[in-house]
Amino acid sequence: MMKVRTRIALALLGAAVVIGGQWWRHAHEGGTNTTDAGPVAVQTAPGTLRLGTLTFTACQLAQKHSGATTAAYCAPFEVPENRDAPQGRRIALKLALVKSDAAAADSDLVVFLAGGPGQAATETWPAIADALAPLRKHRHVLLLDQRGTGGSNALSCKRARAAGEDEAPGFDPARIRADTRDCLAEVAQKADPRYYTTSDAVRDLEAVRQALGAPKFDLVGVSYGTRVAQQYLMRHPDGVRSAVLDSVVPNELALGEDFAQNLEAALKAQFAACTATPACRQRFGDPYATLFKLRDALRAQPQTVGYRDPVTFLPGTRRLDEFALAGLVRMFAYAPETSALLPLTLDQAMQGHYGPLMGQVRLLSDDLAETLTGGMQLSVICAEDADLLRDRPQDKDTLLGDLLVPAFKAQCEVWPHGARPADFHAPLQSAAPVLLLEGELDPVTPPRYGEQVLKGLPNGRLLVAKGQGHNVIGRGCMPRLVGAFVERLDAKALDASCLDALGAMPAFTDFNGAAP
């Protein structure tokens, strides 16, 4: 969060949109139009669309690093920061609409809710665009950067982030509190962090819907975005036509309580696939045991590693300790393409070749720094979860260890707390059509979370993608199934047999790939 190592170790739910996006595939699905009548977008002039009281004009959504842009339509939208003081500070929210491929789109709108907490919908859109392509055949897609992210008064802590390379080793609650105070001082110049919670975001989304003429929404939430979707469905059920919850976070969950155990279970399952393969077992033995040997070695003697920066190609040095290792392995475990590299990367590190490992630390920490807004993440955690977290001594011997909860508590001692509705953590109960998606090997939101949420959804269905990790909406035939669901609103009638083709990626035995 505030420092590089802490940011990697405590990054929450949505990083797979960064890591896994490049492997998502484009797919299409037709079907019967079952949408309700409602407001439709009207082109009032070239490059202009009007929907309800909002006028959208042609704009470009920038893609970081590549310099490419995505064509969209943007509309100004302001809300009070504190709705109980409407005459006070107002904040501008970044609102964009990606047009449907149809000449006359259906009146319901697909709403993409990004993960994190801390990711912005407009910034992560390029990573999910192909997965939602079937939905765009008949529907526009609405992108609203949640308050505190992206173009919606982002609560970023640039000075604290820039200091990350010089951080001191070890877990130091006093230093964490000091870093958090520095971040708060920066954020407080433009925002009151108490008003950047999930509940505030839900009220913003409903205000946008009313301004649009009250169309029905087809919610697509990814990771933390599934919390936003469930809260919206609880508060505004009449505004929801359907919901797709990918890598679902149950309402009952306090974010952070299961992180260590979920990662441990995923790693054991992922490494078991290696030991079950003769070539992989012969090459690496027991990767799970290797991981903990490396952790113990770095705990006893952290390394200052020289390596060539994979972004700038300049030589540099970086500290590698048990915390950096744990955060990196967690990020590797999110997607099969990166988890397949873990046995080889760990084996190289055990032999003293840290270059591949350090290159990934650099890439993943920078990705998270740019896509997760630390201040907004704290506003969510401190208001909604921190008081429910309990110390977890049972996690002490896991890779992530038992320091996550103390770290959150240290930060939330400093960060202002917003309000949480009394029923915020009540299980979701809804008759709406809902499709739940989970990855079999998800290290963050395992399939049992989807099973838990499904209990309150009589018109819901859970699809589990075999061999996959976190964030699976773009995997295999999943885009086609999602398209068919949103078109026909019957999750139980979906023929999901095409998902049987999915499976784990074989572990790399060298940097050329898996054994033949």
Per-residue confidence (pLDDT) for residue 169, from 0 to 100? 55
> Has domain 4-156+189-255+421-501 been given CATH number 3.30.300.30?
no
**Helix (H), strand (E) at residue 381:** helix 374-384
248-252: average pLDDT: 97
Per-residue confidence (pLDDT) for residue 67, from 0 to 100? 65
Confidence of residue 13 (pLDDT cuts 50, 70, 90): low
pLDDT over 80 (residue 35) = no
Instruction: Tell me which residue of 449, 424, 425, 427 sits closest to 436, measured CA to CA.
Output: 449
109-128: average pLDDT: 95
CA distance 244 to 228: 12
Confidence of residue 65 (pLDDT cuts 50, 70, 90): low
pLDDT over 70 (residue 387) = yes
Longest dimension (CA), the chain: 69
Map residue 306 onto helix, strand or coil.
strand
**Cβ–Cβ < 8 Å for 295, 325:** yes
Residue carrying structure tokens 């050329």? 512
**pLDDT tens string 285-340:** 999 999 999 999 999 999 888 877 766 777 878 888 898 899 889 988 999 998 99
Confidence of residue 133 (pLDDT cuts 50, 70, 90): very high
Per-residue confidence (pLDDT) for residue 6, from 0 to 100? 40
pLDDT over 80 (residue 443) = yes
CA atoms within 13 A on the CB side of 506: 15
Most confident of the ranges 11-20, 153-162, 333-342: 333-342
Greater pLDDT, 511 or 276: 276
Task: Give the CA angle between residues 375, 376, 380 to the nearest 5°.
Answer: 120
DSSP state of 470: S
Residues of the chain with CATH 3.40.50.1820: 4-156+189-255+421-501
pLDDT over 50 (residue 32) = no
Map residue 163 onto helix, strand or coil.
helix
Per-residue confidence (pLDDT) for residue 7, from 0 to 100? 41
CA distance 358 to 185: 32
